[in-house]
Structure 1
Amino acid sequence: MYNQDGVTRMMTQEIPTHFTVKIEEFSLLSKASIERYETSEFEAGGYKWKLSLYPNGNRNKNEKDNLSLYLSMAETKTLPRGWEVSVNFRLFLLDQIRDNYLMVQDSKVTGRRFHAMKIEWGFEQFISLKSFMDASNGYLIGDTCVFGAEVFVCKERSIGKGECLTMIKDSIATKTNWRIENFSKLDNEYYESKTFNAGDQKWKVQLYPKGKGSGMGNSVSLYLALANPTTLPPGQKFHIEFVLRLVDQMYGKHISGKGFLGVTQGAFKEYQVLNTTIGMSSKNKKRILSIMRVLHTQTKLCEKTQLPLHALGIFTSAPTS
């Protein structure tokens, strides 16, 4: 055993506990210009990991005379906000002649701290390429080698729930019209328009010819509704600004209502913005029901965690009059 530059190296007959990877035709990695090779994922200490190998050294660290090997965390997007994991780990290289392992580990007793800004630790100078290529050392036999890893979690923490706010500048407006024929003959409780797209969602308008709620019997009620609110991913939230308008085709005295609301999964099915009394005169029978603007909506899930983060889009463009 010897210690150099804070790194301990020793030979051991212990087999790596958590992961081994056998690489055949190792020389082809260089011939194929593969600077970095990542193994499949493995689990240890309740987290997922992988090994990252630089067969000709990590050029990003100006390393060219040594093989570089690192332990990397995998699937970090599912971890809670502010996560930190302190780890003691060992990386291995099999001596195929003597049937034991070169074990390399950090001499730092408290372990290395993995977090969102640092998901990889390891050794730029894991082993010199000269020693690795020397067949008498047993590390590369028949162009085949075996690496391994042990990972022991010694401390972990997170800071709980958070959210990400996404502001959308110059949001794109969407306009659609719904023409109602024979309005005076409508006798169902309500009618729905065809679905239309605005942003990343599908919407529809609901018309209650005889009113709804406080407008029952004395008003025409209009609602904006998500076509399928159950499709929103958990934790997503966004804001929309919109206008519903009854268009007066004869005199241009339109009746309109403006809405601005937040939408989350299961919390929004319909939103009343217009509840107005319209007499059944001949001019009103030919009015067109029109949604003049539903502002472009865009939602983005910033990070999936055990305590879901919210992506919030706020739309501030004024609707057309």
Structure 2
Amino acid sequence: MDTQLFIEGNTSEGRDAPPSHYLFKIESFSLLSKAPLPKYTSNQFDAEGYKWKLSLYPVGDKHNDGEGFISIYLALVETSSFSFGWDVNVVFNFFILNQLQNKYVTVREWTERRYHAMKTEWGITKFMDLETFHNPFKGYLIDDTCVFGAEVFVVRSTFKRECLSMVKEPATCFHTWKVNNFSTLSDDYHYSSRFGDQQWGVCLHPKGAGEAKGSYISLYLYTFAGIPETAKWFVNFILRVKDQMNGEDIIFQNNAPNKNARSIEKFMLLAKLKDPKLGYLVNDTCIIEAEVTLLGMIN
């Protein structure tokens, strides 16, 4: 088992979007912590073509020096059909909801782990100390309720000899694009200014593209940096259209590696964007935000 101490100074500032693959809400946490079983194991969930389960030790994994902490692990399940000598290399991360800020926070490690027949579970023994967790001013346990989550990224080894080079300390770049005079935009596409070291850009089709034409707006995330012909970026990104009145943003998140563009043709219905009762188009202006984290390079 990994031994990783949760220190608030090492967490990210948090994000609005929930974890991509699994959310795990616990009500009456105090009752769970007093239960006779040392851990609770979630239902299985699908991620990256495999099946997984989360295990949570509410008062710590005492057999691995985790007493006084929340311990959390990710297990690969239903492996009986795998071929002899199988292994799966995985990059994963755990999240916890700060309910006071309504943000999902995590320790940003993205460490690669190898799952195989003799090792089907990895995790963090000292994810969060119980004193911090139970402190109501921290926001992790409110009204005896808490929320955990997980994201799982599988590195597949094939005879094509694909190589994923992970970024040791991935940084997230942010961009806000205020699109003025929306009603006067041509039907063609429009680009934001470039941002980040990889020269990211957002492309907007104000009246949709492809099958979405005429009914939706379409958004694309591009990189204008030079990429070798045989390479792709491994990116986690979020695109959102801001609700300027009610805070109910339209959000899309994905982490699929592509060559140059990541597209969402049916991002948002035009009728919804233009509805004056909603806050997406105010004074003929909409606001598009992007968050992009470069996790690695695939060759």
The TM-score normalised by the length of structure 2 is 0.48
The answer to which structure has the higher strand fraction is 1
Q: Highest Rg: 1 or 2?
A: 1
The TM-score normalised by the length of structure 1 is 0.45
